[in-house]
Chains A and B, each alone.
Chain A
Amino acid sequence: MSQDTQIRPPAEVEAPPSPSFLTNVWRSSGKTTGVLAGLIILVVYLSITQPIFMTWGNITNIVASNSVVLVLAVGATFVIISGGLDLSTASAAAVTGMSYGMLLQHGMSAWVAVAGALAVGLLLGIVNGVLISYVKISFLVVTLGTLSVFESAALVMSQGKTINVFSIEGFQPIYNLVNGKVAGIPYLLIFDVVLVVVAALVLRYTTFGRGVYALGSNREAARLNGINVARTTLSVFLIAGLAAAVASLIQVGRLTGASPGIDSTLLLTVVAAVLIGGTAYTGGDGGVGGTVLGVLFLGVIQNGLTLSDVSTFWRGTVNGVVLIVAVALGVARDRGWLRFNRGKTPASS
């Protein structure tokens, strides 16, 4: 290279100011600031108006009644970040729950039944994943189809009957884990925390997690840069299937029975929690931390409605409105319609 060729002096770019840890937290919380503020306002309001709200008993109740949604939502976060959507997640949980109940009913030991349920969850994830990533059918078509298939499979398995597992001996370990406490802290809360931390670490610090983001951000760019698109897609649906199995174990543990019926608002609540938590529905952005806030936000609203004696019939209305408002606020922020978008400068050429 000739000496005359002038390169921009590297001094200009060599030492970009390294933002402090707090700055990083503040910056990365950009998409979740709204839901966090909403959650705080809600909590303050309910603490003042409902004396029961801030009691330990009520708080553990919120954790217990939202763990199913949380587990499913963590799985859904992976799928949505990768640019997909799993509509079959609540139906898959019904199938895995029924599998668990039937294995217990047939006298299987506790851990064989649990392993069986997890295996069925993986299998359902493989069905979705293979059809989407290798047969290359749209995720909307595949999971809309399996939503219906899994739902009916759950009904077929027990001829539509609920399996009562309360008196089955093999059910005891799961019952104890789901409903038990250590030093006043529910095992379920500990499990939720561990799950969220592990999922967050996987998304942030593994090549797999980076691949999931890349896939959702720009599939073609991910492919051309050596990301194994098919395998990554299959993996996120496997995670969603596994999440469905774990969620169903919690559900059966709480209800002491495996029911083939599906709560019709569950799917919407799961997807809403992920989107309210700032994960982009177009993929490529978001995270598990936001999903936790989304689940808590919807859970606390539900809890507040119950404490205020509002009919549970309103639940769907509230969830739907919150979802649309939250996503609309996100869109407004991205387009710069709201003035508080710190330091966001449009790239001009």
Chain B
Amino acid sequence: MNASAAPLIEVRGVSKRYPGVLALDNASLTVSPGEIVALTGENGSGKSTLSKIIGGAEQPDGGVVLVDGVETVIANPATALKLGIVMISQELTLAPQLTVAENVFMGRLPRKGRVIDWATIRRRAREELAALDVHVDVNAKVGDLSVELQQEVEIARAVSSKARLLILDEATSSLSEHATERLLELIREQAKRGVAVLMISHRMPELYSTAGRAAVLRDGKMVGTVPLPSTPESQLVRMMVGRELNDYYGSRDCVPGDVVLQVRDLASADGALAPTSFEVRSGEIVGIAGLVGSGKAQLGMALGGAIPATGEVKVNGAAVTLGDPRRALGAGIGLVPDDRKRAALLPTRSVAHNMTLTWLPKLSKFGVVPTRTEKRRVREAIAEYGVKTSSPAKLITQLSGGNQQKAILGRIFALGCPVYVLSEPTRGVDVGSKSQIYALLQKLTESGAAVVIISSELPELIGLADRVLVCFQGAVRGEVTGDQLQEEVLNAIAVSGHVHEEPS
């Protein structure tokens, strides 16, 4: 790492206050050319605020920002772009109706005289993408591409715009393991060429494989900067949460009991999931792994009745009507969908009303909600599931991602279903909340529930599940248990559909 070079960007003593919270408190940070710095901390620690200040989307209340050693006011994102500061976030900023080439050169289309030079655009877009080893038709509409390819086009645009500082804000959180690895490779390549990188991610392995330094924020204060990968993960986590987190995934003390969930030839109507059969016992956690598009997401949705499906699903021997979430819930299958924003949150409602939504049929008498009981239940659930909120009446969108997720999990867990299907239960959630969620899952199984967890994070599946089913091209291709539960084995099946050594 080129430590002697002058920092490309330096943030000195920056503070930012929002009504009611001090989001950043005298925080300082430097990033030098060619350096990859991980910006870490729990949700709400001020990571996004700091990256927004550097990206020109927010103005600091105190402190200064220096670019190339010169005090600079980054008044808006356009100014940041002119300085070579490019932000890549989880939410893509591509225009889905335009072609790949148009997107790569958006806002700076090369011209020949007064006319846009389409031939050059296509040729240069092809060159840029080839240089990054991205194989995609430059004439394809971006909206028709997979999320992974879209993310790579976004990176190509950033790189070709002569970025000097790349800010990655949770850029990998919607990508599969494989696509993430490719993206990180691109980032490392850029750093070698002298680009400075500031990355925010909740996935520890990513930070360890990519960053040279980790800056840790806690409650808006910069707690310290440690070298990576030499700093042990436990120490980094301790800095982030300010306390010890032992036994991250937790453990449970129970022997799987009777078969609770029986799935026979379950297939999604859209064909993304081919007929699949498996069983889950009481007290058992079964993981579902696979790449994006492998059918694992459809498996969860089909079990929860969220999408039309065929086949047979039985809970405690009783058949469940497929394709109807209300019937599935009634039969005792509690589903937590993977996309919190799209399919779980009621953004205009309070924490309390978000949580009681699912309890209403059980809670109400003759269609009337007993508000006193309701308030008490909400208070109990907020405490039991560790939702951090100043009041149950607060809008749910004002909570951090981790606390939103705990509220969403709480409303389903409080139902006491015999079967739970959880899709990406810790996506976009900080380490502290993650460990709380894992503990809740362990408790759930101890009380006899059968749990199916669908996740893109293999360490999570290995840490939690008794066995893992791996999906490949729309079907379950392998079941991995015991000593075989390793990332290499799961990855091999996920990528090729089989392992060379027999897994069981």
Contacts and interface: CB of A to CB of B under 8 A. Distances in A.
Contact of A284 (B349, B367, B446): B349
Nearest to B305: A224
Interface stretch (B41-49, B118-126, B477-485, B486-494): B41-49
How would you classify the secondary structure of chain A's contact residues: helix, strand, loop or mixed? loop
A226 B325 contact: yes
Nearest to B408: A221
B390 interface: yes
B358 A226 contact: yes
Interface string B310-354: 000000000000000110011000010100001111111100010
Contact of A207 (B170, B369, B397, B446): B369
Interface residues of A, number: 49
Contacts of A12: 388
A347 B357 contact: no
A19 B352 CA distance: 14
Interface in A139-164: none
A315 interface: no
A1 interface: yes
Contacts of A4: 246-247
A213 B353 contact: yes
B391 A17 contact: yes
B353 A210 contact: yes
Given A2-B250, A210-B369, A10 B386 contact: yes
Given A8-B388, A220-B342, A348-B46, A207 B19 contact: no
Given A8-B432, A221-B346, A226-B358, A13 B387 contact: yes
A17 B391 CA distance: 7
B209 interface: no
Nearest to A201: B368
Nearest to A209: B369
Between A27, A213, A218, A227, the greatest number of chain B beta carbons within 10 A of the residue's beta carbon is seen for: A218
A285 B371 CA distance: 19
A106 to B, nearest CB: 38
Contacts of A223: 306, 325
Nearest to A343: B20
B393 interface: yes
Interface stretch (B132-140, B183-191, B266-274, B434-442): B434-442
B457 to A, nearest CB: 18
Contacts of A344: 19-20, 398
Interface residues of B, number: 74
B346 A214 contact: yes
B325 A224 contact: yes
A221 B393 contact: no
Given A8-B432, A214-B357, A345-B20, A221 B345 contact: yes
Interface string A205-219: 111101101101110
A109 interface: no
Contact of B436 (A8, A218, A284): A8
Contacts of A280: 348
Contacts of A224: 304, 306, 325, 335, 337, 343-344
A349 B428 contact: yes
A224 B324 CA distance: 9
B346 A1 contact: no
Given A207-B367, A348-B23, A5 B46 contact: no
Between A205, A210, A225, the greatest number of chain B beta carbons within 10 A of the residue's beta carbon is seen for: A225
Given A344-B19, A345-B20, A206 B48 contact: no
A184 interface: no
Nearest to B412: A225
Contacts of B499: none
Given A226-B330, A284-B346, 19 more contacts: A5-B250, A13-B382, A13-B383, A205-B371, A206-B367, A210-B353, A213-B346, A213-B349, A214-B346, A218-B347, A220-B342, A224-B325, A225-B411, A226-B360, A227-B357, A280-B348, A284-B347, A343-B19, A345-B20
17 contacts: A1-B439, A1-B442, A10-B386, A12-B388, A13-B388, A206-B364, A210-B356, A210-B357, A213-B349, A214-B346, A224-B335, A225-B325, A226-B325, A341-B19, A345-B21, A346-B398, A349-B400
7 A-B pairs with the lowest CB-CB distances in the bound complex, closest first: A284-B348, A217-B346, A4-B246, A285-B348, A207-B360, A225-B358, A345-B20
